[in-house]
Amino acid sequence: MKKYIIPIVCFIIAIGASSCQKWKGEHADIYTYTTPAANPVSDKAPLSCSGSGTSVVSVKGTMLSGKTYTVENGCDLVINPLDTLLMQPGVTLNMGTGTSLIVLGTLVSNGSKDAPNWITVPGITKNDAPGGVTPANDPAYAGKWKGIVGGPTCNLMVLRWTHVEYGGLQEGDATSKIANSGAGNQYSILFANYKGNFIMEDSWLYGGVDDPIRISAGKIAIFRNTFEKNGVSGGDCLNAKGGTTGTMAYNLFIGTATNGQKASNKGQATGAPQTNVVMYNNTFVSGGYRQVQSGRGGCINFEEGAAGMYYNNVAINCRFGFRVVGSPVADVAHLSYGNNYQWADSLSVANQFYPTGYITQPQATDIPAINTSAKYLPSNYTLGSIYDGTDVVQKNNPMFTNFPLPTSGHALAQYSAVGNYNFHLQASSPLIGKGNTTIAPLITVPLDKIYGLSEATLPGADLGCFQLNGGGNQH
Amino acid sequence: MIPAPIIQISSKFQRVSLRKNHPLLMKHYYSRYRLLLFLALSLLFSINSIAQTIKGKVSDYKTGEPLVGATVHLTQAGASRFVAVSLNGSYSFKNVKNGAYQLQVNYVGYSTSQVYEGTITSADETKTINVSLQDASQQMTEVKITASNGKESDHAVRTIEKTSPMVLNILSANTIKLLPDVTVANALQRVSGVTIQRSASGEGRYAIIRGMDQRYNSTLVNGIKIPSPDQQYRFVPMDLFPSEMLERLEVIKALTPSMEGDAIGGAMNLVMKSAPSHFTLSANVSGGFSGLFSDGRLFNAFNASPNKQSPAIVNGNNFAATPADFNNKAITSGHSLNNPFSSTAGLTIGDRFANNKLGIIVSASYQNVYRGSDSKQLTPNAQPSPVPLPNSPQFSDAYDRTYSTQTKRVGIHNKIDYVINDKNKLSLYNLYIHQDESESRFTADTLGLGLNTTALNKQITISNRSTLTQQSIYNSTLHGDHILGKKFVFNWDGVYSVANRHMPDRTEFSYDANKTLNTAGSVVTEYDNNTALVHHWENNRDRDLSGYANLIFTPKIGNTDVEFAVGGLYRHKTRDADYIDYQLKGGLTYYNNNFNSLPFAINTPAGGLGSNNDQLENNYHITENDNAEYFQFKFNPLDKLQVLGGVRVENTDMSYATQSPITVTERSGNIKYTDVLPSIHLKYELADNQNIRASYFASISRPGFGEIVPYKITGEYYDQEGNPHLKHITADNYDLRYELFPGGADQFLIGTFYKKIYNPIEFFVVRDGGPSTQVIKPMNDAGNATNYGLEVLATKFFGVLGFSVNYTYTHSRITTSKLLYQQSAGQSANQSFVDETRPLQGQADNVGNASILFKSAKLGLDMQAAFVYTGERLFQVSPYYNLDFYQHAYNQLDFSFEKTITKKLSFYGKINNITNAAAKIYLKYPHAQIDPKQQEFLGKQDITSQTLVQSDFYKTFFLGGFRYKF
């Protein structure tokens, strides 16, 4: 016993001493001067178009921290081509019924972890319990306002620590013509300038009607976001079309109507680059169940001339697995993938890990292992053919902090919001350390604390969007 | 004695025309024909056989033209008989008895001849009596009216062709009557240099003249331009007009200053029947069927929705429609008809009253025709693939469609002319045409070939669309002719016209049939979902108020008669259009063949609201005020040389206003332009029956209303949108033609033309926001187009047999920039523009017609076998380089006949598309090189170096009936 005393005492002293380091310290409170915003947007009255005889209310300047701004029902809030709207941290922008935010110039919503921004509709109660409300009655899918519409002249759109909620109302004639964005759109966010930059980091997108985010073309960086209840009966959550380059990483998707992330080179404009999207460390839960058409995807989809890569992703109970389309064929010569994890509650999900009819090539680094059994991906397996997934049902439980697997009590389609669930990994998770960290993100946007991407998180060692070391998605 | 050669000739005809026909039909036809022959023979055998002959020629008093078809009556001892004048203008009575006779000739539009009396005695005697008839209208008054002195016979129109100052081709009423066609559109394809564009059911619809598509041509009724019920363009769908209402059909290929200047390809002038000189009554009735519906393939019929207007029109744009506001009868009333019976009927009554001063003609035509087609089509993906080759074609959909179309046409027109005195004449013309087209379209669409549909996974979208399209044209023209003095003539027209098109509640129901297949190819599961319902309304109406005035002054300058004309027109035109779609979805409920159980709802927020319609720009109002003035002269500087020339000034002032909100750029606009259009036409008479012509004219083509308004509509492959920045098209046109009119109906024409077209409007693909919204937009091409060609036409009769051929070679070129999507080794895919030179859309290099006619006035039998050849032509321009669609050469063989049963009654028949020719469209890309995953959807291919992407079959159409003429 005695021989332990000295070490114990030393230990206690050491702790004490190190604790003393905490008492030590220095506090400086030095005056800094910030020049006032030149064009503070007034919050005295709603941003109103009704006096103008049109639906347009133009806006530029700065929305100040802590203030709440309101857009009058039916108005299009327009940022003109040479103008900038900067939303300081802690701004709430309440969108009236049928409104839109049309960005022809620059939009920076510079929220912070402590003071996020809100672009939302006030007074709506969320009901995020699984099966708590049917999609038809859920305000998340009702399209209260039209969304953020980036026109072809929008050179920069930044959404940082920003909640965007309840968008997706059909744009209608006036809005789509002002934005020059094409008719019939029902997107929560549209970006359509292949020379422009779209940055979305640490933000939340809640609700939506069609594709919640449509990137018609653009340089993109979409990092560490959470997507819930996206798309009512169809729509890919992040749908990138011809001329899109960049990275989608550390995003959490739950209950997307169709795919979480999709890349296609459809409609590549003359002068625009080929679509090339790098996707890593994303987590997809219960994707693809509100798509009424069959044969669509549920997590990641590469098609029609799109190049890129996808690694370290996690798909939990998605209706279809990671999908590479053979016709019109993705740019398979410039597409690589591996280290992707899938979980199936049921056989029908496991049977679509490698979706029937497509050309996803099973990789040796995939989990479950592609040589799990003689029935699962047998030696004569050809791409896209039917196989028996019995042996991979409910295998390799990912050990989320709080999300029961296999699920019970609810249909898979009813898991559409995070609520009290927690998709961080427990230390015992088989997902830990399985990631490929040799790949590199494709950074096409400027790196900047405000007017660019503030942090390009590199690929993580643990699969999915939450890293055991606290890295990755910060939500 | 007489019958023998007839049998020979007619059986030869059957061989020619019916060779490829079904043996059963042939047998059927034979038996019918035998009956006719029997009737004919029994008539012939009643004639006595004695050898005296009375013969002679019947001709026009003024022109000396033979009057084929005039009736010569011979009365002997109280008994009367008659013969018709034959093709060379002669008649003869062979077995005339000895004794006194009276002979008299009459002919429609001419005064009845004097009675020639005489006695015939000795055997073998041959009496020759030549008769010339005077034109009834000329006799009545010296007023010369170009539109009303035309006659219905072939040689009458030959005269017009010969004496006309400009280049034209004419089909006479007699020719049209015998044609296998019942609409003007189909008759047009028989005219030299004309090809037709068909509707989905195979019915001709638009005319392409000398390789210039619809937009370059104009339609006139009695020389007056009529508005179009078309939803986009100014050109008129020519299948609206029943051909039997025409006195003649003119295709004018060179414009004089007195004509409206907006025709570059040509102007189609429908000259309607005018009041006869004496009581005329004719009626016809016929029935028939399409071979398409006779072997198991049923005709799909439906009853139209009672909702004539959209909820937004009925209740205003702020009304939010709910599913209860729609009626689905157009889908739920669907039923099948087995071999439905088509019918047509026509009635014409005309007479002259009040001492020949008042002439009236009323003509009505009714057609109820059931037709259809079976169509297979591969729709190209919105963008091709850059691999393995640049612009490798890909397909997104494989369509299998059956069309069933019932077309009901009613045409009524009447003309009243009143001769006030020998210096003044008035006429009032009214035309009303109405067409109801009920089209049922069943589609099986194998969707997303390779994307959503694979060898193991089939998604077939089944859709059923019921469309009722109602179109009508009303035209009322009051015309006056006044002789103001010895040298002055004044004439004027006051015109009111309305053209309407309604598409009330087009209803389309669709659902996905999802089939999962196992590796052996059998269906494991199938469920039907994604039900959708679309209700669509579309209306447009044009109204024209126009006034025309012409003053003609004919002095003698030196020794030469000179004709000066000045005149002009003013037109006030308005057009209103509206357009709306309502999308209803059945949600997640599966479709189990129980339409009524589907919980249809409008589930896009605000989707039922008229004011949230994305297409408010499709609701528009247009006003156009045009005025034109011209100066024209005509004289003969040399005895044989006629010069007609002058200049026309056209001013166009067009304003449009859409319902788009005021924040929408281009929502309204005003466009004005002035054109100065000189022309000169030279005609040199090489001999009495030969002309050589040379002409130059400048002309324009105005953009269609639907393309200049910034409208947006769903198109076949791409959405289309309008372009208010379109400039109008102008052209310089040169013509040279040699003509020979040997007499009778014979003619030989050879001509050449050259056109330079400035600011041609072509369709380009442009990005409109998102990637799925690449749209087709009409734009003026920076380059000019050229179009030149050669036309030959020959008609020759050998006794009762006639041959007519025409052939046109056309060569047009335009260079436009197209997209090239490629991936070079190791590099990324990119898209660039490259120039491609191609023909104008719709133009075929080689176009020809050939027909064999048998016309025996003696037998009362006319027969015609008509063959149309349309060479390969550019069908659809692709936005991508080298991916244009070409329609393969198309041959069609038609047959028709008319046989007199009694003096007043005849039997006629028309058989269309005897060989069941298919319209086939190809991509010029070897089909074996198409992506292997798509091969299974390609279907049967027949040309190695091309890919068949569409084939439409119409089958043979039969019509037979009776014509009664008083």
- Enumerate the residues of chain A whose CB falls inside 8 A of the CB of residue B529: 292-294
Contact A294 B512 (CB under 8 A): yes
- What are the pLDDT digits (tens) for A252-261? 999 998 889 9
pLDDT of residue B825: 66
User: CA–CA separation, A151 vs B692, rounded Å?
Assistant: 62
- Between positions 543 and 602 of B, the ones with CB within 8 A of A are 585, 587-588
Q: In this prediction, what percent of chain B has a pLDDT beyond 70?
A: 89
Q: Given this model, what pLDDT does residue B463 score? A: 92
pLDDT at A22 over 60: no
Interface test with A, best of B828, B880, B936, B938 (most A CBs within 10 A): B828
**Beta carbons of A304 and B774 less than 8 Å apart:** no
Residues written for chain A: 475
pLDDT value for B124: 66
Which structure tokens are listed for A405? Answer: 């697997």
Task: Judge whether residue A99 has pLDDT over 50.
Answer: yes
Query: Who has greater pLDDT, A447 or B44?
Result: A447
Q: Identify the residue with better confidence: B176 or B738.
A: B738
Rounded percentage of chain A residues whose pLDDT exceeds 90: 72
What pLDDT sits at residue B25?
38
State whether B663 and A177 contact (CB < 8 Å): yes
Cβ distance of B771 and A216 shorter than 8 Å: yes
Cis upstream peptide for B504 (omega within 30°): no
Contacts of A168 in chain B (CB under 8 A): 605
Q: Are A140 and A166 in contact (CB under 8 A)?
A: yes
Higher pLDDT, B43 or A239: A239
How distant is the Cα of A426 from the closest Cα of chain B, in angstroms? 37
pLDDT tens sequence across A165-220: 999 988 887 888 888 877 778 899 999 999 999 999 999 999 998 889 999 999 99
Contacts of B456 in chain A (CB under 8 A): 356-357, 384-386
Contact B771, B718 (CB under 8 A): no
By DSSP bridging, strand A283-285 and strand A204-206 are: unpaired
In terms of average pLDDT, the best of A372-386, B14-28, B540-554 is B540-554
Q: A194, A209, A292: best mutation site toward chain B, by most B Cβ within 10 Å? A: A292
Which one of B831, B833, B880 makes the best mutation probe of the A interface by having the most chain A beta carbons within 10 Å? Answer: B831
By the 10 Å C-beta count (0-12 exposed, 13-18 middle, 19+ buried), B45 is classed as: exposed
The residue among A104, A302, A327 with the most chain B CBs within 10 A of its CB, best to mutate, is: A327
Q: Does B445 touch chain A (CB under 8 A)?
A: no
Query: With an 8 Å Cβ cutoff, are B664 and A177 in contact?
Result: yes
Cβ–Cβ under 8 Å, residues B614 and A178: no
* The two three-digit tokens of residue B3, written as one number: 């019958």
Distance CA B350, CA B715 (A): 46
CA B804 to chain centre: 21
Q: Please give the pLDDT value at position B8.
A: 34
Structure-block tokens of residue A1 = 């016993």
Q: Which of A53, A182, A327 sits opposite B769 (nearest CB)?
A: A182
- Specify the DSSP class assigned to residue A450: T
> Can the peptide bond before residue B388 be classed as cis, meaning omega within 30 degrees of 0?
yes
Is the predicted pLDDT of residue B6 greater than 60, yes or no? Answer: no
Both tokens of B221, joined, read 């009724």
Looking at CA atoms only, how far is residue B945 from chain A in angstroms? 22
What are the percentages of helix, strand and coil residues in chain B, rounded to 5?
Answer: 10, 55, 30
Percent of chain A with pLDDT over 70: 95
Does any CB of chain A come closer than 8 Å to the CB of residue B525?
no
Task: Point out the residue among A174, A295, A326 whose CB comes nearest to the CB of B664.
Answer: A174
The shortest CB-CB distance from B382 to any of A184, A267, A270 is to A267
Indicate the residue of B530, B772, B931 with minimum beta-carbon distance to A292: B530
Q: What is the pLDDT of residues B360-417, one digit of tens each?
A: 999 999 999 999 999 988 888 778 888 888 888 888 888 899 999 999 999 999 999 8
Using CA atoms, how far apart are residues B217 and B188, in angstroms rounded to an integer? Answer: 13
Range in B179-183, B280-284, B628-632 the model is least confident about: B179-183
State how far residue A224 is from chain B, nearest Cα, in angstroms.
26
* First-to-last C-alpha distance (Å) of chain A: 47
Residue B138 has pLDDT above 60, yes or no: no
Mean pLDDT for all residues in chain A: 91
Residue B68 has pLDDT above 90, yes or no: no
* Whether the predicted pLDDT of B772 surpasses 70: no
Q: Check A327 against B617: CB less than 8 A apart.
A: no
Average pLDDT, chain B: 83
- Touching check for B519 and chain A: CB below 8 Å? yes
Whether the link from the prior residue into B605 is cis, omega within 30° of 0, is no
Say if residues B857 and B93 touch (Cβ distance below 8 Å): no
Q: What is the DSSP letter of A447?
A: B
Name the H helices within A77-166: none
Is pLDDT larger for residue B383 or for residue B329? B329
Report d(CA B472, CA B166) in Å as an integer.
31
Q: What is the pLDDT averaged over residues B120-131?
A: 77
Per-residue pLDDT tens over the stretch B251-289: 999 999 999 999 999 999 999 888 887 888 989 999 999
**DSSP bridge partners of B372:** B404
**For B655-686, what is each residue's pLDDT tens digit?**
999 988 888 888 899 999 999 999 999 999 99
- pLDDT tens digits, B346-359: 999 998 888 888 88
Q: What's the rounded mean pLDDT across residues A72-80?
A: 94
Contact call for residues A91 and A141 (beta carbons, < 8 A) = no
pLDDT at B386: 86
Per-residue pLDDT tens for B814-869? Answer: 888 888 988 876 667 888 889 999 998 888 899 888 999 898 878 889 899 989 89
Q: Which of B3-17, B124-138, B159-173, B398-412 has the highest mean pLDDT?
A: B398-412
| pLDDT for A48 | 93
Q: Does residue B43 carry a pLDDT above 50? A: no
Number of H helices, E strands in chain B: 10, 49
Contact of B768 with chain A, judged by CB distance below 8 Å, is answered with yes
- Minimal CA separation from B377 to chain A, in Å: 18
Check B769 against A242: CB less than 8 A apart. Answer: no
Tell me which residues of chain B, numbers 607 to 626, contact chain A at a CB-CB cutoff of 8 Å.
607, 611-617
Rg (CA), chain A: 24
Nearest CA in chain B to A142: B605
Residue from the list B386, B933, B934 with its beta carbon closest to the beta carbon of A305: B386
Give the one of A55, A267, A334 whose C-beta lies nearest to B663's C-beta: A55
Instruction: Decide which of A436 and B800 is more confident.
Output: A436
> Has residue B768 got a pLDDT over 80?
no
What's the whole-number mean pLDDT along residues A344-360?
A: 92
pLDDT, tens digit, for every residue of B581-628? 898 988 778 888 888 888 898 876 667 777 767 778 889 999 999 999
Cα distances from B399 to residues A188, A345, B441, B520, in angstroms, run: 34, 38, 11, 25
**What residue ranges in B212-353 does DSSP mark as E strands?**
217-221, 224-225, 246-252, 266-272, 280-290, 299-301, 335-337, 342-353
Distance from B468 to chain A by nearest Cα, in Å?
Answer: 26
Closest listed residue to residue A247, CA positions, set A443, A11, A468 = A443
> If you average pLDDT over residues A226-254, what whole number do you get?
92
Distance from CA of A328 to the nearest CA of B (A): 6
As given in the structure block, the two tokens for residue B722 are: 């309008």
B605 to chain A nearest CA, in Å?
A: 6
Instruction: List the single residue in B with minimal CA-CA distance to A302.
Output: B451
Closest partner residue to A268 among B585, B665, B829, by Cβ? B829
The one-character DSSP state at B609 is: B
| Structure tokens, B933 | 């995953």
Of A390-404, B73-87, B133-147, B381-395, least confident by mean pLDDT is B133-147
CB contact under 8 Å between A183 and B451, yes or no, is no
Contact across the interface for B604 and A143, Cβ inside 8 Å: yes
Contact flag B585-A273 (C-beta cutoff 8 Å):
no
The pLDDT, as a whole number, for residue B14 is 34
pTM over 0.90: no
Distances from the Cα of B581 to the Cα of A79, B312, B323, B506, B537, angstroms: 31, 10, 13, 9, 7
As a whole number of Å, the CA-based R_g of chain B is 30
In chain A, residues with a C-beta closer than 8 Å to the C-beta of B452 are 293-296
Within 231-260 of B, beta carbons closer than 8 Å to A belong to none
Would an 8 Å CB–CB cutoff place B383 in contact with chain A? yes
CA B136-B140-B146 angle, to 5 degrees, is: 70
Contact B539, B362 (CB under 8 A): no
Contacts of A294 in chain B (CB under 8 A): 452, 457, 459, 512, 514, 529
More confident residue, B490 or B196: B490
